[in-house]
Amino acid sequence: MEYNKRISDMNIGEQVEGFYILKGVYPKTTASGKPFLNATLADKSGTVEAKVWNYSGPIGTGDEGKVVKIRGEVSEFRGASQIVIEKIRLAEQDDPYQVSDLVPVAPIDVDDTMREVEQLVRSIEDRDYQAICLQMLQEHYTALRNIPAAKSVHHGFLSGLLMHTANMLKTADFLAKLYADVVDRSLLLAGTFLHDFAKEKEFTFSQLGLATNYSVKGQLLGHLVMGAQEVAEVAKQLGVPEEKSVLLQHMILSHHGEPEFGAAVVPICAESELLSEIDKIDSRMEIYREVMEGLEVGEVSGRIFALEKRIYRHK
Amino acid sequence: MEYNKRISDMNIGEQVEGFYILKGVYPKTTASGKPFLNATLADKSGTVEAKVWNYSGPIGTGDEGKVVKIRGEVSEFRGASQIVIEKIRLAEQDDPYQVSDLVPVAPIDVDDTMREVEQLVRSIEDRDYQAICLQMLQEHYTALRNIPAAKSVHHGFLSGLLMHTANMLKTADFLAKLYADVVDRSLLLAGTFLHDFAKEKEFTFSQLGLATNYSVKGQLLGHLVMGAQEVAEVAKQLGVPEEKSVLLQHMILSHHGEPEFGAAVVPICAESELLSEIDKIDSRMEIYREVMEGLEVGEVSGRIFALEKRIYRHK
Amino acid sequence: MEYNKRISDMNIGEQVEGFYILKGVYPKTTASGKPFLNATLADKSGTVEAKVWNYSGPIGTGDEGKVVKIRGEVSEFRGASQIVIEKIRLAEQDDPYQVSDLVPVAPIDVDDTMREVEQLVRSIEDRDYQAICLQMLQEHYTALRNIPAAKSVHHGFLSGLLMHTANMLKTADFLAKLYADVVDRSLLLAGTFLHDFAKEKEFTFSQLGLATNYSVKGQLLGHLVMGAQEVAEVAKQLGVPEEKSVLLQHMILSHHGEPEFGAAVVPICAESELLSEIDKIDSRMEIYREVMEGLEVGEVSGRIFALEKRIYRHK
Amino acid sequence: MEYNKRISDMNIGEQVEGFYILKGVYPKTTASGKPFLNATLADKSGTVEAKVWNYSGPIGTGDEGKVVKIRGEVSEFRGASQIVIEKIRLAEQDDPYQVSDLVPVAPIDVDDTMREVEQLVRSIEDRDYQAICLQMLQEHYTALRNIPAAKSVHHGFLSGLLMHTANMLKTADFLAKLYADVVDRSLLLAGTFLHDFAKEKEFTFSQLGLATNYSVKGQLLGHLVMGAQEVAEVAKQLGVPEEKSVLLQHMILSHHGEPEFGAAVVPICAESELLSEIDKIDSRMEIYREVMEGLEVGEVSGRIFALEKRIYRHK
Amino acid sequence: MEYNKRISDMNIGEQVEGFYILKGVYPKTTASGKPFLNATLADKSGTVEAKVWNYSGPIGTGDEGKVVKIRGEVSEFRGASQIVIEKIRLAEQDDPYQVSDLVPVAPIDVDDTMREVEQLVRSIEDRDYQAICLQMLQEHYTALRNIPAAKSVHHGFLSGLLMHTANMLKTADFLAKLYADVVDRSLLLAGTFLHDFAKEKEFTFSQLGLATNYSVKGQLLGHLVMGAQEVAEVAKQLGVPEEKSVLLQHMILSHHGEPEFGAAVVPICAESELLSEIDKIDSRMEIYREVMEGLEVGEVSGRIFALEKRIYRHK
Amino acid sequence: MEYNKRISDMNIGEQVEGFYILKGVYPKTTASGKPFLNATLADKSGTVEAKVWNYSGPIGTGDEGKVVKIRGEVSEFRGASQIVIEKIRLAEQDDPYQVSDLVPVAPIDVDDTMREVEQLVRSIEDRDYQAICLQMLQEHYTALRNIPAAKSVHHGFLSGLLMHTANMLKTADFLAKLYADVVDRSLLLAGTFLHDFAKEKEFTFSQLGLATNYSVKGQLLGHLVMGAQEVAEVAKQLGVPEEKSVLLQHMILSHHGEPEFGAAVVPICAESELLSEIDKIDSRMEIYREVMEGLEVGEVSGRIFALEKRIYRHK
């Protein structure tokens, strides 16, 4: 028996034992009155349904999102795999499992990427924009390092926001030079760095760090308005001239490009126009990357909801 | 000769003398090198083109928006009336003219309406929402009393914002009672009262108080975001619980109803849904009122840009 | 054993006995050739699946929509409750059940509301419009009192049309006074009163009075055109001047506001514009009411199809 | 000097004399107080501006749409031709002019086409549909023979409705045979014959028979609803079964195909679907015909408003 | 026992034996480790699920789309019919089954229709257009005779492209005469004949000739561009003047009418405009025919995806 | 008197002499029968109207787009400048004027940029894609060097296509490295290099090289389809595998991103997705550059047609 077998590798008939995320749990009663659990287990390779017969606790609804240790057998139920669990308990502090085996993480070196981002921020020539960015970096250091940038669609893994921000900053840096006669590099880089910071408040996160839902505040105000508001406050504290503060807020408020994609105002500066394009490019390339991982060369995908089309992998 | 004759009543061939707004002025030179002025004069009944031959100053581009005294004769030029001005000077402090004859004003009693608005604000049961409203009323008292709610489309006259706000508050009060099991009256009235306050910053105003253009800040941030931001600050100063502050900001951010009409977020509470409807009703009824003033009974208008259709006056 | 237990309160393992609506019924045969029934039972609290083993009649497809008396046990089938029925028969005239326990009804006092509506109709100053309304009230008295205003979305319960009409008339009355210089109150109230009368012909109704489907005529002509047509006929019978008849037809034909929402023509009078807004307000407030009943305070709903968004309950 | 020279053939410097339509007339006064007329003259080849100096009547605004006899000289004014008129009077009954030289008429033989239409109507197998059509033909004989089908876009000339109806009936006849297993020929031909009859009420017509404007009733109800209503009445008089009446009304109500193109309901029968396509084909082919008349072979037109594109003439 | 019983006629409990298409096949293992097959069988009347217990081959995934001979019993599984198969083997060359009983075919006489099409092609007066068409007819003779015009929506059966092309050519012929002053008959017929030829390359086909999927090339280029490209090559080979080649390519590139329906360019000639309408008519009439086959007279269908509405069968 | 004074610097009353483009010319006759010319002159700073009294040739309509030498005086006519020309003749071969003073040219060093482009093309690793690009570069060398990329909107000056292509290639090169795991650099660079080559055939050009209009072929087929077709032919000549040819055609056919922006198919590869974004970025940045040249710092532009909004210059 292989311990901690990846869910995507399990076969019907196998015995399995190991640590998995208890993604969902539904206590039930059989027709004959006996308690049992329906559960969903997950690791970073996928999810699988499970059943614990004759089980009345202690694990229950309040434990969703935690790690459990289980032992059981993979069987078939209505055409899909299902683990019939014999033993289940919550994982403890010293248990031998790696969070990184259970939750998906960005395919980057987090320390290196944080350094790259910080270097680009320090390269912002305008002292005011730089000061705001450094202040925000300090206040949100841990969040930037760790949180995903989405629930699912793209960058929905640990450090997803960092990966997204770093890629975009590099492109912003390149385009600021290419269009140097049109674009203020300091404004473009500052806006790019800050554009998604309020995602930290827009989502609620599970114990393991994944975005599980939109927060109520996130749904009432949106991360664009929340982000602009925080930047306005920091700018005021630091004594940055109002014109710069307003331009930076405009960058954040308009970075979805069009009202129908959620922009609170439309971009009307070269820098905000460019930011919305850079955001779109990085989002789309990441969607292609994630979808193409699941395709063979020469295969066309099913319909991708976020793109409203199928895509093709040719290499 | 009739003094201060309304522009809409002038006939070709008449001598005119009086005070008018110098809406536009364009210093020119004839082919033979002589200086003259092309000008546009306005009062609240309309506008008329004018010419001042052989004139090199002192009146010039810097005087647009001011009141002038003129004397001249109404002639015809390419099918339209044109005043050939013999004398022109800037109006002085003691000159015998009424601003209310020159600029359009809301068809309401301003003092009474201010009182009605204040009473409705004081009727807000929730102390926190009421406190924010009273603070904002105090800080923006003069603006609320005086400014128009638009450049042209509807309520584009002095005290237009007040008229719009008062009508909407009355409807909000009525509907809060009709839908009392769904709607929090305090939130609805507070949001209604505050929804357009940032128009003061969204526009620039002429010396006589009319909205002449969008401010740069207004175009970069929009009055929805600016309004929400100010309310957030006042709420923080007054120690209002964050949940209420967020709900009130949501009211303001969503009051245009749909992203394509400029909403920064879509309304997701009964109160914000209702506010967007009340705003639409008062805007549309005012457009009907303004357009129907220029129609005969039984007449259909030309295409109304803001409504994307023609309208019919039957009474 | 509790008689007539509400479906939403049933638990697995309980014995139940009582009267329920036979919403759907599907006679089947087992692999071994034995006849049985799959059925759906309903009361006003919800629906539940049921099975009657070894049953070959007399109840069958022709009895859908009728009331049945059943006895059985609540079990679990594939994760959902299911009643295994031991006894089933059609309800008879003297059986001790209340229709109001089985079908949802409007949360209003029907007699009071009918009186309010009639009073508002009698308050219409214009004798012609009033006459048409009184005639229509007389002809459709029972339908107005009883029918739902929809299959499901909003006001889909007994007396739903009455509740919707009464609310809208009150708002119309209020707004007619607020915008008295723009709006003809008689036309507005008459149009509001009559706007949905043809729903009686647009739907087919079950024995218990709920709207079960669109009628063929309803799908070929729509309730707007059918409503306008009937008003045109009544106006002709009563000798009402054609101009008034045409205005009233226009109110009904345009009350969905925009072609993409089903308006046969766009509203081009202040009164028809207002009617379409009032209709939208009452529809939306009722959707909020119905959805919020199923939400906790602080909870965000799932996506509401009719609103194309999620909504939030904060009080 | 050539009498009744076509306006499109006039050259600057020529003397002209003849009968033209007084399309517009604007009495004016010069700066020096002298009365004169600005006028627009038209024949079927086009329009030209004109001036009558020192003229104070009797011809005035009330004579728009009538025929006048004029004499004058073609001159140039701001880059366009303009007739300076020396003599002008209203045409009298016995004056030697042909209406057909002045107003555009359909390029068809009206008597022949009426006969073709009547034959197709008489070929409708279903006695009920045929009876309705014959009754309507009798009541609207003169209108069908004479009126245009539009103000301008397509078929905006005398007998335009007849030309449009005849072409569509021929196509309906052809397609009813091709799709005989799907389509009820009687319903298709009856709907096609009747679909635009209410244009007679939707427009107001000049003395010479051209559509000059939408009638108020036309704007409040639309020709689809008015047409369906009249058919409903005729059907009732003739004792036609309601189902057939409803189907025929549905044909008329849905013949614009999509709500955004003005359909009161969407077509849901094969016959109404087909009618909306046949209408679109004949409308578009006539637009191509009219536009291509003004193009050289190998030329691309300017933007055609009704088609939202430019078109190309290759033969 | 009836051999080759139509799937739509099978009843639970019957023994069946015969030839069916193996539409899908999924080798599985039971929880206890025994191999079995889940399969989908089809004939032209419909599809049915099937199970082969204790089966490990030789039939497997590679045999999808082939014909099999089976024997088994119809049972019920979760409310649907399911054949429990006792014997299964691939059909062999001399087996007594008809492809036409298994796959749907166009309800036309293929030989007659090919003759009609060829006659219409030979009636094209312009020698260049005719030459291109004859060359294409020769090269694609078998495909035109046999392939479906779609995967499912309409004409998704054998010889579907032929039926669609023949109907459209007849309508094109009729309309070319009706609008002879606007339309070049040769261009219209040639474009109509060729417009869908590249469907042969846009789809992949099963062994039995049905369209199973879009080819990669079809998704990268589309049948409009592929069709235009092939016509351009043939025209070059035959020495046809470039202007005619370009017009014919334009016909093919624009035949979907609007960009949102897939047109590569919008139609700007009368002929391409007409082609897009004729295509729409034949597609829609075929959808009506196919949907109405499954409806009773007086019945309204469920929502038809391709039409975005429900349809009504009245005859 | 200053020779060759820039049109934007001319003042009323000045004598001018020099070489200008004869952009438009309209031979006319005065009311008294005398011939004269209305003309439009242009240099790269702008345009001005002109009149040549008593002139009957030889210059006429056939000379539009050529360079003329003129002498005259700047006067005022209806509020705008107008040159009254005394002498006018066509420019001859040896005349001392620079085309670059008359027509706008890209603000780049053409030789350097051609070299950069060629280097990037030679850096394409895939030999097949490189071969196609080099072949196309050789065949279209002069066009790529010289033609504008548009009539007006953006890059509407000499060497505009080169500037646009070079900028896009640099960005493609950068992004191909950033997204190396998703993107085939060879395909991206080849598609970018070739995407607009068919603009050479889509436009007609004046003698001086500016795009004056769309060609008929350009309107019937579009530059996307024409470009893909030429690439298909070159690929076939060079023996490139069909799969690569199809991918490259797909790049060109989809580079407008969405059907409503003119894409013949939607991009479904990472490379085509990216190409459409890069194209949008360079187009938009160039529009910002061109518009901002005419704005002061702190100024908001008028509505920019191509962007559907106003833009703001803050630096």
Q: What tokens were used for D210? A: 């051209």
- Mean pLDDT, residues A8-16 taken together: 86
What's the pLDDT tens digit per position in E244-291?
999 999 999 999 999 999 999 999 999 999 999 999 999 999 999 999
Tallying the residues shown for chain C, one arrives at 315
Helix, strand, coil percentages in chain D from 3-state DSSP, rounded to 5? 45, 20, 35
> In the structure, what pLDDT confidence band is assigned to residue C25 with cuts at 50, 70 and 90?
confident
C216, C221, C258, C260: best to mutate for the D interface, most D CBs within 10 A: C221
Beta bridge partners of F26: F38
**Per-residue pLDDT band at A31 (split at 50, 70, 90):** low
Nearest partner of A8 among A42, A38, A40, A39, judged by Cα = A42
Q: Please tell me if residue C295 touches chain B, with a CB cutoff of 8 Å.
A: no
Chain E neighbors of D274, CB-CB under 8 A: 281, 284-285
Question: Side chain identity at C135, as an amino acid letter?
Answer: Q
| Spatial contact of F226 and F198, defined as CB atoms under 8 Å apart | yes
Residue A78 pLDDT greater than 90, yes or no: no
In this complex, which of A266, A292, A300 lies closest to F182 when CB atoms are compared?
Answer: A292
Q: What is the mean pLDDT of chain F?
A: 92
Residue F31 confidence (pLDDT) above 60:
no
Out of F12, F298, F312, closest to residue B31 by CB? F12
Chain F residue with minimum CA distance to A309:
F268
**Helix or strand run (H / E) with residue B40:** strand B35-43
End-to-end CA distance of chain F: 37
- What is the C-alpha radius of gyration for chain D, rounded to an integer number of angstroms? 23
Which of B125, B155, B175 would best serve as a mutation to test chain C binding (most C beta carbons within 10 A)?
B175
Residue C194 has pLDDT above 90, yes or no: yes
In chain F, count of helices (H) and strands (E)?
10, 7
Instruction: Indicate the pLDDT class of residue A76, thresholds 50, 70 and 90.
Output: confident
Query: What is residue F32's predicted lDDT score, i.e. its pLDDT?
Result: 62
The answer to whether D29 contacts chain F (CB < 8 Å) is no
C52, C35 Cβ separation under 8 angstroms: no
- Report the residue of chain A nearest F269, measured CA to CA: A312
With 0-12 CB in 10 A as exposed, 13-18 as middle and 19+ as buried, what is D294? exposed
Residues D246-304: tens digit of each pLDDT: 999 999 999 999 999 999 999 999 999 999 999 999 999 999 999 998 899 999 998 89
Q: Is D204 on the interface with B (CB under 8 A)?
A: no
Dihedral sign for Cα atoms in the order C209, C214, C220, C224: positive
F175-228 tens-digit pLDDT = 999 999 999 999 999 999 999 999 999 999 988 888 888 999 999 999 999 999
Interface ipTM: 0.88
Q: Does C159 touch chain D if contact means CB atoms closer than 8 Å? A: no
pLDDT tens string B174-191? 999 999 999 999 999 999
For residue E312, give every residue at least 6 positions away whose Cβ sits within 8 Å of its Cβ, in sequence order, or none: C216, C219, C220, D268, D269, E299, E300, E301
Q: Is B308 on the interface with D (CB under 8 A)?
A: no
List, for residues E126-175, the tens digit of each pLDDT value. Answer: 999 999 999 999 999 999 999 999 887 688 899 999 999 999 999 999 99
Chain F neighbours (≥3 Cβ pairs under 8 A) are A, B, D, E
Beta-strand ranges (E) seen in chain E are 15-29, 35-43, 46-52, 67-77, 80-90, 203-205, 211-214
CB contact under 8 A, B216 and F13: no
pLDDT exceeding 70 applies to what percent of chain D?
97
| F15 inside 8 A of chain B by CB | no
- Work out the mean pLDDT of chain C and round it to a whole number: 92
pLDDT at E28: 80
Residue A177 at interface with chain F, using a CB cutoff of 8 Å:
no
Q: Cβ E217–F246 below 8 Å, yes or no?
A: yes
A31 and C310 in contact by Cβ < 8 A?
no
What is the distance in angstroms between the Cα of E226 and the nearest Cα belonging to chain F?
10
Q: Residue E65 — pLDDT band, cuts 50, 70, 90? A: confident
Which residue among F76, F79, F312 places its CB closest to the CB of B216?
Answer: F312
User: Would you place residue D1 in the very low, low, confident or very high pLDDT band (cuts 50, 70, 90)?
Assistant: low
With beta carbons under 8 A apart, name residues in chain B contacting C285: 179, 182-183, 270, 273-274
pLDDT of residue B265 exceeding 60, the answer is yes
Interval D74-118: pLDDT, tens: 887 766 788 999 999 999 888 888 887 888 899 999 999 999 999
C75: confidence class by pLDDT, cuts 50, 70, 90 = confident
Question: Which of A154-163, A180-189, C173-182, D117-126 shows the lowest per-residue confidence on average (mean pLDDT)?
Answer: A154-163
- Per-residue confidence (pLDDT) for residue C60, from 0 to 100: 85
pLDDT digits (tens, 9 = 90+) for A107-140: 999 999 999 999 999 999 999 999 999 999 999 9
Residue F104 pLDDT more than 80? Answer: yes
- Residue A33, pLDDT score: 64
In this structure, of B91-95, D17-21, F187-191, the range with the lowest mean pLDDT score is B91-95
Q: What is the mean pLDDT of residues F152-160?
A: 85
Q: Do chains C and B touch (3 or more CB pairs under 8 A)?
A: yes
Q: What element of type H or E holds A216?
A: helix A216-237
pLDDT higher than threshold 70 for residue A273? yes
Q: How far is B81 from chain D (nearest CA, A)?
A: 9
pLDDT value for B13: 80
Asked if the Cβ–Cβ distance from D228 to C225 is below 8 Å, we say yes
Contacts of C208 (CB under 8 A, 6+ apart): C21, C65, C67, C99, C102, C103
Helix (H, G, I), strand (E, B) or coil at E105: strand
D285 contacts in chain E (CB < 8 Å): 179, 182-183, 270, 273-274
Q: Could you give the 3-state DSSP secondary structure of residue A182? A: coil
Chain D partners (3+ C-beta pairs within 8 A): B, C, E, F
pLDDT > 70 in chain B, percent: 97
Nearest residue of chain B to residue C246 (CA atoms): B314
In this structure, which amino acid lies at residue B97?
Answer: Y
pLDDT tens digits for range C277-299: 999 999 999 999 999 988 999 99
In chain F, where do the E strands start and end? Answer: 15-29, 35-43, 46-52, 67-77, 80-90, 203-205, 211-214
How many other C-beta atoms can be found within 10 angstroms of the C-beta atom of residue A145?
16
Residue F137 has pLDDT above 60, yes or no: yes
The Cα E280–Cα E290 span in angstroms is: 15
Task: Kindly state the percentage of chain D with pLDDT values over 90.
Answer: 66
Contacts of C262 in chain D (CB under 8 A): 259
Mutate which: B125, B164, B179, B254, vs C, most C CBs within 10 A: B179
H or E segment at C68? strand C67-77
Question: How much is the pTM?
Answer: 0.90
Is pLDDT at E113 greater than 60 in this prediction? yes
Nearest to residue B207, comparing CAs of B79, B45, B90, B111?
B90
Q: What is the pLDDT of residue E14?
A: 87
> Quick check: do D and F touch, 3+ CB pairs under 8 A?
yes
Q: List, as ranges, residues 238-257 from D with C-beta within 8 Å of B.
A: none
Mutation target to probe the C interface, by most C beta carbons within 10 A, among D265, D268, D275 is: D265
CA distance A40 to chain F (A): 32
Q: Of A25, A26, A30, A305, which to mutate for an interface test with C (greatest number of C Cβ within 10 Å)?
A: A30
To the nearest whole angstrom, how far is the Cα of C194 from the nearest Cα of chain D? Answer: 17
Q: Is the pLDDT of residue C215 over 70?
A: yes
Report the pLDDT value the prediction gives residue C148, as an integer from 0 to 100. Answer: 93
DSSP line for D100-130? HHHS-B-SS-HHHHHHHHHHHHHT---HHHH
- Residue closest to A279 by CA, chosen among A252, A312, A307, A303: A252
Give the pLDDT band of residue E24 (cuts 50, 70, 90): confident
The residue to which tokens 């080798």 are assigned: E27
